[in-house]
Amino acid sequence: MIISHDLGTTGNKATLVDNDGTMVAAVSVSYGADFGSGGRAEQSPEDWWNALARASRMLLEKGDVDSSQIDAVSFSGQMMGVVAIDGAGEPVRPAIIWADTRSTVQCQQLVERVGMERGYQITGHRLNPTYSLSKMMWIRDTEPEVFARVDTMLQAKDYVAYRLTGVRATDPSDASSTNAYDQSAKSWSAELIEAAQLDPGLFPEIVDSTTVIGAVTREAASATGLAEGTPVVIGGGDGPMAALGAGIVDASSGAYAYLGSSSWVSVSATRPLHDPLMRSMTFNHVIPDRFVPTATMQTGGASLQWITEVLSPGQEDRYADLLGGARDTAASEDGLFFLPHLLGERSPYWNPKARAAFGGLLMHHNRGNLTRAVLEGVAFNLYTGLKAFSDNGISVSSIDAIGGAAHAGTLLDIFADVWGVPVTARNLVDEANAIGAAVVGGIGVGIFDSFDIAATLSTRTERREPDVARHTRYGREYEEFIDAYQRLEGWFESVAARRA
């Protein structure tokens, strides 16, 4: 049996999967995040570890299995962060997570030294302050005493794997989320690390996602309830792992949309997608020699969470209530738009200074109108990513939706109508990442023979077909949505400058 952990922004979703690929049990343990002024976004690595330990014990109890029956532990984890640890393996500061945008100055230095286009060709990504490389530079420049203690830079799943085994390593999928990985050379980029003026020794060894990096130590066994000696597979980053969990293993698998705190649209490919407009980025897949062209927005599901917390604080059924109110009301059709840039933006603008905004508010607009505007804003923003795919020869005829917000039928309807293709939810919307990690773990210890098993571990449930007339109307409103951002972009810049 396999235990897999998905270390997300809001908590750890963990699963217990048997050797036939059937999910036996699933649990979730939440933890907090520190979102502050100036673009701060941090979490405690100890919270991740405590969540892993608690979830492991919960799974053993819920699945009624003995720890000796666990054949492997594997991971999916949030990407693009920095867990800086010292020589003894202790974090020297809180983890800087994907949403943090404080390293704008350092990122600009990288752009000046390397060039944006050159960086994109090397890494498959724009050089951007949401990535790990400039965040390490920021620690060096703003916290020199802390930086002097740093021995290794890890990602979230790498850190908990280290806590289990004592081994420091990462995999290509997470390495490709750092702005420091050369996708052609399949190694850390000497050019970018030199431009960052960082020591290459700060970056851990890169191993395949299916690699057994070590075994659960006696100390870790005591904390987690796992058996000492249990094999630990390194796993991968949550974006590529979500693709595997959705059954996206090759170009014939179609596309998927992940609707978590951050949200993205993605496909599988045999080579990186280098969009001339650099609207998309490409991660390495957890499958060797495969890639995951992706367009990611900072706050997809998080925008839905935000509006429900603002409009219905403390209300137990606030999601159902607000989504119900949004179902039969109007937003963009009535001239009301929401720019969903609550934490700046990645795709398609790559602008950490972007801000969220409602435009077109009138006296008659109510909670339902506001909620629908948020849903449509997320759909419009992701549509730009889909257009980047189609503009570069990747045809998308249908999309599978996974992640927590994929429970929302109203959102799926809006997606189908905006995107103009069928959108289908899978039955494991919350556990897709962890299921992907279970497949990687199972391959790592020889339980599974092929990544193809991933497509059999979940089924498509509700399917939403696009309405042709609404798609046509949304096409006009999408252009107005894009125009709103372009008109406000200069204002975002001036506001940020006045508060610098």
> How large is the average pLDDT for residues 7-24?
92
Tokens in use for 268? 């599988």
Residue range 96-145, pLDDT digits in tens: 999 999 999 999 999 999 999 999 999 999 999 999 999 999 999 999 99
State which fold the 249-500 domain adopts.
Nucleotidyltransferase; domain 5 (3.30.420)
Is the pLDDT at 209 greater than 80? The verdict is: yes
How many H-runs (helices) and E-runs (strands) does the chain carry? 16, 25
Q: Phi and psi (nearest 5°) for 319?
A: -65, -55
The residues spanned by each domain of the chain are 2-234, 249-500
Collapsing DSSP to helix, strand or coil, 235 comes out as: coil
Q: How far is CA 356 from CA 67, 226, 314, 337, 366, in A?
A: 47, 44, 23, 10, 18
Check if the beta carbon of residue 295 is closer than 8 Å to that of residue 273.
no
Higher pLDDT, 36 or 431: 36
Please work out, in degrees rounded to the nearest 5, the angle formed at the alpha carbon of residue 195 by the alpha carbons of 193 and 200.
Answer: 25
The answer regarding whether domain 2-234 maps to CATH 3.40.50.2020 reads no
Contact 33, 7 (CB under 8 A): no
Can 2-234 and 249-500 be said to share one CATH topology?
yes
For helices 409-419 and 318-327, give the axis angle rounded to 10 degrees. 40
- For the entire predicted model, the pTM comes to 0.86
Residue for token pair 């703003």: 142
pLDDT digits (tens, 9 = 90+) for 238-279: 989 988 987 877 766 678 898 888 898 998 888 999 999 999
DSSP-based three-state secondary structure for 487: helix
DSSP 319-360: HHHHHHHHHT--SGGGT-EEE--BTBB-TTT-BTT---EEES
> Rounded mean pLDDT of the chain?
93
Rounded to whole angstroms, how far apart are CA atoms 48 and 119? 31
Confidence band of 183 (pLDDT split at 50, 70, 90)? very high
Return left, alpha or beta for 353; rule: phi > 0 is left, psi -120 to 50 is alpha, else beta.
Answer: alpha
431, pLDDT greater than 80: no
What tokens appear for 317 in the block?
């059924």
Please give the backbone phi and psi of residue 224, each rounded to the nearest 5 degrees, phi first: -105, -20
